[in-house]
């Protein structure tokens, strides 16, 4: 446990030193406040629209930004150490490969969690203080749900980045593959799903189709933040499939947890079998 914490601690202090933590927090806070204030601009007025609309917009932007940040944070976790020659050295220390990877995960995971809590937390507090007549209880619940699911989504992509990082031997390849993962889950997947939907002309099993959304953590994340308001009108595009999903919010949470637990377990397994 001690060595896991030693590795995590170095990652945390690195992200403070290179100002990643500060930069991500700042981006999140700016994003949240911007959307809160100008979210209603489309309907011709400036000001706070409503909590569900704000969260829905935040979640839609979040799926672009959070996977990208998580992948950038974590893609060189192992391959970077290898290129610097420190991986070989670290493994000659009383430190198992699993401990090294879990330490990295703890460090990167906490960095992302702190940035999310600080960035969106500040924005939430600002909205509660500055906007008149906002229902504090529902805002707080929505914000907590949003922050929690954002952290889980980020962890999922950190774990996916590790799967790459323990497999490849060069940093540029790891970076390229990380971008490919982002491209696939954020842009391609929904298009493919939509294509399947149209091409099958309703022949596709109507029971099975909504479950396909569970194959993409960013879809689970959006569903989770929108469905919670019980307002299916906000569900657009392929997400409308989610209204037919026979699992509740708890199922979606479990889905997000699995989406970081399974890739992390996979990365650990791959790392353990890798030849040094």
Number of residues that bind another protein (CB under 8 A): 22
Q: Shortest Cβ distance from residue 5 to another protein (Å)?
A: 9
What angle separates helix 136-167 from helix 51-74, to the nearest 10 degrees? 20
| Alpha-carbon span 71 to 201, nearest angstrom | 36
Rounded to an integer, what distance in angstroms lies between the CA atom of residue 195 and that of residue 237? Answer: 12
Helix (H) or strand (E) holding 207: none
Nearer to another protein, 6 or 50 (CB): 6
Tell me, residue by residue from 90 to 129, as one string, x for binding to another protein by CB under 8 A and - for no binding: xxxxxxx---------------------------------
Q: Which is nearer to another protein, 78 or 177 (CB)?
A: 78
Window contacting another protein (CB under 8 A); options: 58-66, 86-94, 142-150, 253-261: 86-94
For residues 10 and 243, which CB has a smaller minimum distance to another protein in the complex?
Answer: 10
Cβ closest to another protein, residue 88 vs residue 136: 88
Torsion over CA of 55, 60, 64 and 66, rounded to 10 degrees? 20
Residues 1-40 that bind another protein (CB under 8 A): 2-3, 6-7, 10, 14, 17-18
Task: Determine, following the binding rule CB under 8 A, whether residue 272 of this chain makes contact with another protein.
Answer: no
Q: From the CB of 18, what's the least distance to another protein, in Å?
A: 7
By CB under 8 A, name the one of 1, 43, 44, 85 that touches another protein.
85
Contact 75, 179 (CB under 8 A): no
The single residue among 30, 41, 84, 249 that binds another protein, judged by CB under 8 A, is: 84
Q: Which stretch binds another protein (CB under 8 A): 83-91, 136-144, 219-227, 236-244?
A: 83-91
> Please, which contacts does 11-15 make with residues 24 or more away whose CB atoms are closer than 8 Å?
11/103, 11/104, 11/106, 11/107, 11/108, 11/111, 12/107, 12/110, 12/111, 14/107, 15/73, 15/107, 15/108, 15/111
Asked if 103 contacts 3 with a C-beta cutoff of 8 angstroms, the reply is yes
Identify the residue whose tokens are 């308001």: 229
In angstroms, the Cα distances linking 106 to 3, 101, 242, 268 are 12, 9, 32, 14
Q: Any residues with CB less than 8 A from the CB of 55 and at least 6 apart, and which?
A: 142, 143, 146, 225, 226, 229
Site string for another protein, 37-76 (x = CB under 8 A): ----------------------------------------
Smallest gap, in angstroms, from Cβ of residue 19 to another protein? 11
Residue 127 CA to residue 29 CA, distance in Å, equals 11
Give residues in contact with another protein (CB under 8 A): 2-3, 6-7, 10, 14, 17-18, 84-86, 88-96, 275-276
């Amino acid at each position: 446990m001690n060595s896991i914490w030693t590795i995590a601690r170095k990652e945390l202090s690195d992200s403070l030193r290179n100002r990643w933590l500060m930069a991500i927090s700042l981006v999140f806070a700016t994003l949240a406040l911007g959307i809160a204030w100008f979210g209603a601009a489309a309907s011709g007025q400036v000001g706070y629209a409503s909590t569900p609309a704000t969260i829905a917009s935040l979640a839609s932007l979040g799926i672009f930004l959070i996977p990208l940040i998580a992948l950038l944070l974590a893609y060189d976790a192992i391959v970077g150490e290898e290129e610097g020659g420190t991986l070989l050295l670290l493994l000659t220390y009383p430190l198992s490969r699993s401990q090294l990877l879990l330490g990295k995960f703890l460090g990167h995971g906490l960095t992302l969690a702190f940035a999310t809590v600080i960035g969106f937390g500040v924005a939430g507090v600002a909205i509660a203080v500055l906007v008149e007549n906002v229902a504090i209880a529902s805002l707080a619940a929505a914000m907590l749900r949003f922050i929690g699911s954002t952290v889980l989504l980020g962890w999922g992509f950190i774990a996916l980045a590790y799967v790459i990082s323990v497999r490849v031997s060069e940093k540029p390849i790891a970076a390229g593959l990380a971008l490919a993962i982002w491209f696939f889950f954020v842009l391609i997947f929904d298009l493919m799903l939509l294509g399947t939907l149209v091409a099958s002309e309703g022949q596709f099993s109507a029971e099975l189709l909504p479950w396909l959304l569970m194959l993409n953590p960013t879809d689970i994340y959006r569903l989770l933040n929108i469905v919670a308001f019980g307002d299916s009108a906000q569900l657009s595009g392929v997400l409308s499939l989610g209204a037919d999903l026979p699992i509740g919010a708890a199922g979606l949470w479990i889905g997000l947890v699995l989406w970081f637990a399974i890739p992390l377990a996979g990365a650990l397994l791959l790392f353990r079998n890798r030849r040094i």
